[in-house]
Structure 1
Amino acid sequence: MNKPVTTTELGNATPQGPRIVLFVEDGSGDWHARRLKKAMEARGATVVTTTLSACAFDTSCPSGLDIPGFDGGLPDGAFVRSVSTGTLEQITLRLGILHALRESGVRVWNDARAIERCVDKSTATFLFQKAGLATPPTRVVETHARAHAHLTADPRPFVLKPLFGSQGNGVRRAHNADELPAPEEVGDVYYMQHYLRAPEATLFEDWRVFVSNGRLLSAMVRRGKSWITNVHQGAEPIAHDPCTEMSALALAAVAAIGADYAGVDLIRDASGKLMVLEINSNPAWKGLQSVTATDIADTLAADFLAAVTQLPALA
């Protein structure tokens, strides 16, 4: 893998530096948001931390948007750390705010289009296949009856994932159609993916590759005793130097989604074939940061501000 990414000071979009809104889960922001804010401010940016739920469409504002801290005007850039959970109507409104910012000429990382594609696992899987990328055999259907019929016709172990979810939450494995969860547990949408591990496996691993601005920042092996290998679920992060195939697959996955930055999860099936498992448009990197020399928040901040100010990005 290349040597750790280093950063250089960026110029400012205005004499006062770019004005940035950082969208977080709550008012204070998590560990990741605090590091991003510090890194951006070190480069002369003014950063307002807020939530998308605190924003509003407002025709009395010159911009048509009311973003806390901007007096009816617009920021120079918006970095999305979290959209937060909510009702369908709330999520639609928040994504609408992000769409409106982009349509108003604000540079948004990641913008609503990329977030929508990543959050909806079925769309991401479709885009991977459309781009010619290897991904586990997957079928997504509505209703318990249709899911049961599919798994009866193709009886093999499978993984069922919530259509919207992260960090391994709600992921389950089943061995036959009779183990399907009730419709109300999954919103009556069944995302079914072939289980790829060898039946006798006792040690489980996959790879997380972090991409920003079209190049790799860092990567790690996630290794655990459970088949769910998210660090959040107890897997051990281990530094990893990705091979050419891994690097190319991760970069192609991010390009297929159209994301500015993302965490790409790769896996090998029982035969050793490398596949794209998932992609995350708001990835956590605390585990990865513990095993890499690259300052991920620092580099993300530099890449983002370069895009906002339209300066050359880091090599």
Structure 2
Amino acid sequence: MKKSQRKVAIVTDDPGWHGRQLTRSLKDHGLESQYVSLSDCIIEINGTGKEIFIPGFNTPPLGIFVRGVPGGTLEQVIFRLNILHALYNSGITVYNTPKAIERTVDKALTSLLLSRAGIPTPTTWICETPEHAKIILDKETANGKQIVLKPLFGSQGVGIHLLDNKSGLILDEKFAGVYYLQRFIERLNNEYTDIRVLVVDGVAKAAMLRRGKEWLTNCAQGASCESLILDKNIASLAESACKILNIDYAGVDLIQDKTGCFYIIEVNSIPAWYGLQSVVDYEIASCLIDSFVKHIARINQLSFF
């Protein structure tokens, strides 16, 4: 295979630490890589069969590792996902697949699919009008309970609000006219903790406990990370969620309530692992790239990996 054909694209607008980790692991497999922004790609439908133009690639990449899909208008997001769909449908390994990204980037769809499959997930409401959202909020918080308001699309705890009967409904442009309301799970000893499980190819590989300074438990919001031994219950629940969503790898977030029951809060198809890396004794990027390369080899019927 020519050197130019051993090159993969890492889709990201902000490579940072994660990009460097992936680049190094790809080099260990003898693969070159280049960072690519989907906003710089072009679709040209001209009847020649070459429809997707990716900066830095004269020939199609051997594989696509998706580290980020930039936000934007609905039209921009659809266009960027269309690029991934076109590449995937042409036989190129896209990791995670565009279908998996669509199922998980949309919190409403994720919640629906998990609930229908019998996976425990918090009671959730999705509506458009502030009037409907206020009715739900007033009913749920009448007895002192709280409710979480999240952007439908978003990550790292940005734009999330904890509401009660005193705060009332918060209007935030990040919600883009859709209210995703989720019943707040009260935890044992009222601690602000949750669990992140990394699942790769259907197998739970590692877990950590995240402990927030306040109610948000995202590492990006200042939560600390603690090592956690994977037990069968947590592993099985995370693996089942990934199987339902048909996803190659994911960061699965779980919360344990006061009675000991676990609920899946979110499944992340483009998870960060900086925090998790700090509490495990192996390179997570290597684990992900090993899986990525196996997918490439299987699709291309290659054995040199």
On whether the aligned pair clears a TM of 0.5, the verdict is yes
Distance in 2, matches of 1:286 and 1:154, equals 36
- 5+ residue gaps in structure 1? 1-13
Residue in 1 that maps onto 2:156: 167
The 1-side partners of 2:260 and 2:189 are apart by 15
Question: How far apart in 2 are the matches of 1:134 and 1:312?
Answer: 40
SS of the equivalent of 1:166 reads coil
| TM superposition score normalised by structure 1 | 0.88
Match of 2:268 among 265, 271, 280: 280
Residue in structure 2 matched with residue 301 of structure 1 by the alignment: 289
Select which of 260, 277, 280 maps to 1:289: 277
The structure-2 alpha-carbon separation of the partners of 1:57 and 1:144, relative to structure 1 and needing over 3 Å to count, comes to same
Counterpart of 2:163, as a letter, is A
Residue matched to 1:250: 238
Match of residue 67 from structure 1: 54
**Which structure 2 residue ranges, 5 or more long, are not aligned?**
none
Residue type at the aligned position of 2:67 = R
Deviating above 6 A after TM superposition, structure 1's stretches of 4 or more consecutive aligned residues are: none
SS in 2 for 1:179: coil
Where does 1:53-202 land on structure 2 (aligned, <5 Å)? 53-60=39-46, 62-71=49-58, 73-155=59-141, 156-176=145-165, 179-182=168-171, 184=173, 186-198=175-187, 201=190
Return the structure number with greater helix share.
Answer: 2
Q: Give the total of aligned pairs.
A: 296
- Report 1 or 2 for greater relative contact order, CA contacts < 8 Å, sequence distance ≥ 6: 1
> What is the TM-score when the length of structure 2 is the normalising length?
0.91
Give the secondary structure class of the aligned counterpart of 1:154.
helix
Letter in structure 2 aligned against 1:145: E
Q: 2:229 aligns with which of 229, 235, 241?
A: 241
**Which whole-Å deviations, capped at 9, do the CAs of 1:102-126 have from their partners, x for residues lacking one?**
1101110012111111111000001
Letter of the structure 2 residue corresponding to residue 279 of structure 1: V
Secondary structure of the residue that 1:275 maps to in structure 2?
strand
Distance 1:220 1:198, change over 3 A: closer
Cα distance in 2 between the residues matched to 1:153 and 1:222: 31
Q: Deviations over 1:30-73 (max 9, x none)?
A: 210111011112201121221111111013564211012222x3
Residue type at the aligned position of 2:203: R
Q: Secondary structure of 1:298's partner?
A: helix
Aligned partner of 2:215: which letter?
W
Deviations 1:174-225 (A, max 9, x none): 1138611126452221111111115972x31110001111112211000123
Which residue of the other structure, out of 3, 22, 34, is the alignment partner of 1:36?
22
In the TM superposition, 1:258-273 aligns within 5 A as: 258-273=246-261
The verdict on how the C-alpha distance between 1:118 and 1:146 changes in structure 2, with shifts beyond 3 A counting, is same
Counterparts in 2 of 1:91 and 1:177: CA distance versus 1, 3 Å = farther
Decide whether aligned partners of structure 1 residues 268 and 300 sit closer, same or farther in structure 2, where only a CA change above 3 A counts.
Answer: same
Aligned partner letter, 1:189: V
Which of 181-190 and 249-258 deviates more?
A: 181-190
Question: What CA distance in whole angstroms lies between the structure 2 residues aligned with 1:83 and 1:46?
Answer: 21
Q: SS at 1:34's partner residue?
A: helix
Q: Contact conserved, 2:127 with 2:133, CA < 8 A, in 1? A: yes
The percentage of counterpart residues that share the same residue type is: 39
